[in-house]
Chain A
Amino acid sequence: MAKQDNGESSAAAGSAVENHGAVSVSSGTAVVASDAFTNPGLPPHEPRVTDLDPAKERRASRTVGMLFILSIIGSIFAIVAYIVFPIVPGDMLSVRLNTLFLGLGITLALIPLGIGAIYWAKNLMSSHEHVEMRHATRGTEETRAAAARIFTLGNEESGFTRRKLIRNSLIGALAVFPLPAIVMFRDLAPAKDPVALFKQTMWDKGTRLALDPSGAPIKASDVTIGSVFHVIPEGLEEADHPLDEKAKAAVLLMRLDPSALNEADDRKGWSYDGIVAYSKICTHVGCPVALYEQHTHHLLCPCHQSEFDVANHCEVIFGPAKRPLPQLPIAVDAEGYLVAQSDFHEPVGPSFWERSA
């Protein structure tokens, strides 16, 4: 079909390389005007000042030499700087100076070396423009025929297409042999069910809310209005994998004026006198949502700017997140410490396929 488009233009395909070869190919919808300008050829060579004036040539030559010598000085300077500006443990200025002077020395070794070589090429080496002919990328007809013959011979001598059983079973074997490698990736992770793991956290009935990072339990009376506490479950340090647990169990504890809280009926018992606890892990892709504004009651995620309204069960008011931050139901134990009533009632953090299943 492409052939049809170019009835009037293919003959005039100008300087296309294919003209050297035996085959002509379609120029598609290209147009070549019959009275197009012709290439005037290379303009005459213009000599440089260094070609004409021996004094300038000598000066350029000296410049290159000086640049290379400067580079040697730079290398030596770098070695000296390495020794003269040692790092004194704990002294930040010494690190700064070591980095600075060692770096400047190496810079001095490199840049004049490069500039010298380029300057040499530009001013002293031949400035004549050279012309090299191109050849069509495709092989010549003879070469292509020879290649085809080799494949035919290979086929005949091996019987690849004739011996169908061998060919098909070979293709089958090649297709199957990488499968064990894929199976072997299973043990990249332990033999547990990830879905169950993602759905529960360390929080449990009676787990005390503790300060991050000290682990000191928090009394309800400690949390004054306008406060925000960064919370971990008590005993986190004793967990098998504290960071894995913390990545799910991190909680933000805030106290609002109880009149500012709009609580759903079924969650009225989840807060304590205006104190509410919400998962700190963003329901978008899991950054810690920790930017709390005490008057607007907004929580902002610094990674993708999802905004949650603490006064309304952390519903999303802006940004890419869809779900509210999960709330941790809290109560106060006999000693006045804040405790969890249970684990979260839904999986924390980013959504995953089996989340609601």
Chain B
Amino acid sequence: MTTTTTPAAASTTVTEKPVGKGMRFTNAAANYIDERTSISGLVKELGRKIFPDHWSFMLGEVAMYSFVVILLSGTFLTFFFDPSMSHVTYNGSYAPLKGIEMSAAMASTLDISFDIRGGLLMRQVHHWAALLFIASIGLHMLRVFFTGAFRKPREINWVIGFVLFILAMAEGFTGYSLPDDLLSGNGLRIIDGMLKGFPVVGTWISYLLFGGEFPGLVVIPRLFVLHIMLLPAILIAALGVHLLLMIINKHTQFAGPGRTNDNVVGVPVMPVFAAKAGGFFFVVFGILVLIASLFQINPVWNYGPYDPSPVSAGTQPDWYIGFADGALRLVPPGWEFVLWGWTFSLNILVPVAVLGLFIVMVAIYPFIEAWITGDKREHHIAERPRNAPTRTAIGAAGVTFYGVMWAAASSDLMATHFRLSIEGVIHTLQALLIVGPIVAYFITKRVCLALQKKDREIALHGYESGRIVRLPGGEYVEVHQPLSEYERWRLVSYEDYKPLMLRPNDKGKITVGMRLRASMSRWFFEDRVSPATKGELEQGGHH
């Protein structure tokens, strides 16, 4: 199954040597376990599995390791945290809150911070790891999107990954709410307000979630159960399936000499990949602990206990909820009406619907692209973003759209830090929300096509050497450095699609679906740049 590029096969060398004492124990232990678990089959199957080596293939690992750090630090926190909203009078060691009434959740959070050695460190590790967890999932998704790694057979795994992203955000938000401080309490208040804005069921959903009126006495324990039990259980299960499918499908790889759609070129799990991945876990863990020991995050003692009356300037959610908060901020005045006595809160429903549509489009994008290309083959070569210009441009437009909403969540900070007016910032962002993605789309597409053309130039004519030579006839030309075939292969090996020709089907008809598909296909592929071919190279420098 696995072949190495050198004839010396590693498998036969070890067993011949006399067995040392340590080795004898290892052998006995391995024998003991295998006789009870058949684990040798698993080791044989997976132990020398090949993983391609590219930095961008490790972003998912970052997410997984952050999650492990979250589980470890979170477990420590549960030993001390009291998820109760019953009122207590704080009598811990933080002087400015002594004698203040607060929930037991807030008081125990303060005790973790000020009275448990390493408690504040673990709180900060947990929170920083949560931010990194979701950020690395986001970056991982961008990598998968822009390299087309979601194509068959990985569409389902894309959807599972998407579910993991949503679960991670849900974990983040429930966790953010648990300390019951002023910031998170106002966050819950916003959730309450949004829920109430939903037609027909909104009032009841809010009423049931909060166990009565806001804030009530039950929402923190309920969120706690979701945060430490239900959501992690689903998350771990989905993560398991995600990894299992990754093993079954094997990892994608970038095009390169020797790399084909039929093979995986890289390093084996034992020992190189295991050492790198294991080492990387400790590095990610270490970076998180380093950040947590140097940088303060969420100082709940500054915010104080939740009270429905106060609020802080700069009330923002954690970064991953920012896009939703920003969408709410960008709604122009007056988007609400009453019809037949029922209140329609469009100022809530429209941003929710737009965001809903946006994330649904993200989730189903692989199926849309597969339908447009009609390509049913398996794809294991990760594409360079420039070689799928329309997809890359769509991605850039999506990132811009998300980015504008995200920026809107900090409109007040932009106003104060750049000496602008809040109103001006909001109006600019409202315009950018519409214009930005369109501009980003066209610029990105043009840049991709230009890069493809440049790749073609280089593949056919070589690199510009910067050396100007005068020919005998007096003409000046720049000498081009020819490419090695390995370098060239990287530039010319990519998928090329042509726009779909509209032809009548078996019944001699052209349906609306066919027309739609043909126009989508035209949109995707009409200005494609084909990869250079041998024939073109042989024609040489003739343009």
- Direct touch of chains A and B (CB < 8 A): yes
A-to-B contact residues, CB < 8 Å: 1-2, 4-6, 13-18, 20, 25-33, 35-37, 39-43, 45, 82, 86-87, 89-90, 95, 98-104, 106-107, 109-111, 113-122, 125-126, 128-134, 136-137, 185-186, 188-190, 192, 194-195, 197-198, 212-213, 230, 232, 241, 243-244, 246-248, 250, 280-282, 284-288, 290-291, 300, 302-306, 316-323, 349-357
Which of B94, B201, B218, B267 is the one whose CB lies under 8 Å from A129?
A: B267
Smallest Cβ-Cβ distance to B284: which chain A residue: A114
* Interface contact B203-A198, CB-CB below 8 Å: yes
Would A305 and B289 be within 8 Å (CB), given that A110-B282, A129-B5, A130-B5 are in contact?
A: no
The segment out of B133-141, B225-233, B324-332 that lies at the interface is: B324-332
Q: Which residues from A are CB-within-8-Å of B514? A: 1
Would A320 and B531 be within 8 Å (CB), given that A29-B373, A110-B289 are in contact?
A: no
Find residues 139-174 in chain B having any chain A CB closer than 8 Å to their own CB.
153
Question: Which of B3, B115, B329 is packed against the most chain A CB atoms within 10 Å?
Answer: B329
Smallest Cβ-Cβ distance to A6: which chain B residue: B374
The contact sample of 19 A-B pairs, CB cut-off 8 A, is: A18-B378, A28-B374, A29-B497, A29-B500, A36-B531, A82-B118, A89-B115, A110-B283, A110-B286, A119-B279, A125-B272, A130-B5, A188-B211, A282-B193, A285-B189, A305-B422, A320-B332, A322-B333, A357-B342
| Interface size class, chain B | 35 or more
* Interface contact A287-B498, CB-CB below 8 Å: no
* Interface contact A194-B93, CB-CB below 8 Å: no
Find residues 400-414 in chain B having any chain A CB closer than 8 Å to their own CB.
411-412
3 shortest interchain CB distances as A-B pairs: A103-B293, A285-B193, A117-B279
* Interface contact A15-B262, CB-CB below 8 Å: yes
* Interface contact B215-A128, CB-CB below 8 Å: no
* Interface contact B328-A244, CB-CB below 8 Å: no
Q: Which residues from B are CB-within-8-Å of A103? A: 121, 125, 289-290, 292-294
Which of B213, B216, B426, B534 is the one whose CB lies under 8 Å from A248?
A: B213
* Interface contact A247-B308, CB-CB below 8 Å: yes
Q: Does B446 contact A (CB under 8 A)?
A: no
Would A27 and B2 be within 8 Å (CB), given that A37-B534, A89-B115, A351-B343 are in contact?
A: no
Would A130 and B265 be within 8 Å (CB), given that A45-B5, A113-B282, A352-B343 are in contact?
A: yes
* Interface contact A189-B208, CB-CB below 8 Å: yes
Smallest Cβ-Cβ distance to A300: which chain B residue: B422
* Interface contact A37-B492, CB-CB below 8 Å: yes
Q: Does B34 contact A (CB under 8 A)?
A: no
> Closest approach, in angstroms, between the C-beta of A258 and any C-beta of chain B?
27
Q: In the docked arrangement, what's the CA distance between A37 and B487, Å?
A: 12
Would A29 and B117 be within 8 Å (CB), given that A131-B264, A137-B249, A353-B202 are in contact?
A: no
* Interface contact A17-B282, CB-CB below 8 Å: no
> Closest approach, in angstroms, between the C-beta of B195 and any C-beta of chain A?
9
Q: Does B442 contact A (CB under 8 A)?
A: no
Q: Which residues from A are CB-within-8-Å of B74? A: none
Q: Which residues from A are CB-within-8-Å of B380? A: 17, 134
Q: Which residues from B are CB-within-8-Å of A86? A: 117
Q: Given A37-B493, A352-B343, output 15 extra A-B contacts at Cβ < 8 Å.
A: A1-B505, A20-B262, A25-B376, A27-B377, A29-B498, A40-B486, A45-B5, A98-B118, A103-B290, A114-B282, A120-B279, A129-B265, A130-B265, A134-B264, A304-B325
Q: Which residues from A are CB-within-8-Å of B202? A: 352-353
* Interface contact B249-A118, CB-CB below 8 Å: no
Q: In the docked arrangement, what's the CA distance between A27 and B378, Å?
A: 9
Q: Which residues from B are CB-within-8-Å of A282? A: 193
* Interface contact B309-A188, CB-CB below 8 Å: no
Q: Is the interface of B mostly helix, strand, loop or mixed?
A: mixed
Would A17 and B293 be within 8 Å (CB), given that A1-B505, A29-B500 are in contact?
A: no
Q: Does B89 contact A (CB under 8 A)?
A: no
* Interface contact A114-B309, CB-CB below 8 Å: no
Q: In the docked arrangement, what's the CA distance between A232 and B308, Å?
A: 11
* Interface contact B279-A198, CB-CB below 8 Å: no
* Binary CB contact string for chain B from 20 to 38 against chain A (1 if under 8 A, 0 otherwise): 0000000000000000000
* Binary CB contact string for chain B from 192 to 236 against chain A (1 if under 8 A, 0 otherwise): 111011111111101111111111111000000000000000000
Which of B258, B314, B330 is the one whose CB lies under 8 Å from A41?
A: B258
Would A195 and B203 be within 8 Å (CB), given that A40-B257, A323-B336 are in contact?
A: yes
Q: Which residues from B are CB-within-8-Å of A355? A: 338, 343
* Interface contact A243-B308, CB-CB below 8 Å: yes
Smallest Cβ-Cβ distance to A285: which chain B residue: B193
> Closest approach, in angstroms, between the C-beta of B223 and any C-beta of chain A?
13
Q: In the docked arrangement, what's the CA distance between A247 and B280, Å?
A: 48
* Interface contact B378-A137, CB-CB below 8 Å: yes
* Interface contact B197-A285, CB-CB below 8 Å: yes
Q: Which residues from A are CB-within-8-Å of B368? A: none
* Interface contact B214-A318, CB-CB below 8 Å: no
Q: Which residues from B are CB-within-8-Å of A287? A: 186, 189-190, 193, 311, 315
> Closest approach, in angstroms, between the C-beta of B496 and any C-beta of chain A?
5
* Interface contact A13-B377, CB-CB below 8 Å: yes
Q: In the docked arrangement, what's the CA distance between A39 and B486, Å?
A: 8
* Interface contact B496-A30, CB-CB below 8 Å: yes
Q: Does B287 contact A (CB under 8 A)?
A: yes
Q: In the docked arrangement, what's the CA distance between A102 and B200, Å?
A: 53
Which of B279, B341, B486 is the one whose CB lies under 8 Å from A118?
A: B279
Smallest Cβ-Cβ distance to B293: which chain A residue: A103
* Binary CB contact string for chain B from 278 to 321 against chain A (1 if under 8 A, 0 otherwise): 11111111110110111000000000001111111111000000
Q: Which residues from A are CB-within-8-Å of B535? A: 35
* Interface contact B212-A244, CB-CB below 8 Å: yes
Would A318 and B213 be within 8 Å (CB), given that A121-B272, A128-B4 are in contact?
A: no
Smallest Cβ-Cβ distance to B50: which chain A residue: A132
* Interface contact A29-B203, CB-CB below 8 Å: no
Smallest Cβ-Cβ distance to A252: which chain B residue: B309
Q: Which residues from B are CB-within-8-Å of A321? A: 333, 347
Q: In the docked arrangement, what's the CA distance between A99 and B289, Å?
A: 10
Which of A185, A186, A198 is the one whose CB lies under 8 Å from B213?
A: A198
Find residues 86-101 in chain B having any chain A CB closer than 8 Å to their own CB.
92-95
* Interface contact B293-A99, CB-CB below 8 Å: yes
Q: In the docked arrangement, what's the CA distance between A331 and B115, Å?
A: 49
Q: Which residues from B are CB-within-8-Å of A117? A: 275-276, 278-279, 282
Which of B198, B290, B378 is the one whose CB lies under 8 Å from A353?
A: B198
Would A30 and B328 be within 8 Å (CB), given that A287-B315, A355-B343, A357-B341 are in contact?
A: no
Q: In the docked arrangement, what's the CA distance between A13 and B496, Å?
A: 11
* Interface contact B214-A39, CB-CB below 8 Å: no
Question: Which of B272, B514, B534 is packed against the most chain A CB atoms within 10 Å?
Answer: B272
Q: In the docked arrangement, what's the CA distance between A285 and B334, Å?
A: 14
* Interface contact A288-B268, CB-CB below 8 Å: no
Would A352 and B203 be within 8 Å (CB), given that A2-B374, A198-B213 are in contact?
A: yes
* Interface contact B124-A99, CB-CB below 8 Å: yes
Smallest Cβ-Cβ distance to B260: which chain A residue: A15
Q: Does B14 contact A (CB under 8 A)?
A: no
Find residues 235-266 in chain B having any chain A CB closer than 8 Å to their own CB.
248-250, 257-266
Would A15 and B275 be within 8 Å (CB), given that A28-B376, A42-B5, A285-B348 are in contact?
A: no
Q: In the docked arrangement, what's the CA distance between A280 and B1, Å?
A: 70
Q: In the docked arrangement, what's the CA distance between A352 and B325, Å?
A: 19
* Binary CB contact string for chain B from 76 to 117 against chain A (1 if under 8 A, 0 otherwise): 000000000000000011110000000000000000011111
* Binary CB contact string for chain B from 507 to 533 against chain A (1 if under 8 A, 0 otherwise): 000000010000001000100001111
Smallest Cβ-Cβ distance to B123: which chain A residue: A99
* Interface contact B276-A285, CB-CB below 8 Å: no
Would A18 and B377 be within 8 Å (CB), given that A95-B120, A352-B203 are in contact?
A: yes
> Closest approach, in angstroms, between the C-beta of A339 and any C-beta of chain B?
20
Q: Which residues from B are CB-within-8-Å of A30? A: 373, 375, 377, 495-497
Find residues 329-358 in chain B having any chain A CB closer than 8 Å to their own CB.
329-336, 338, 341-343, 345, 347-348
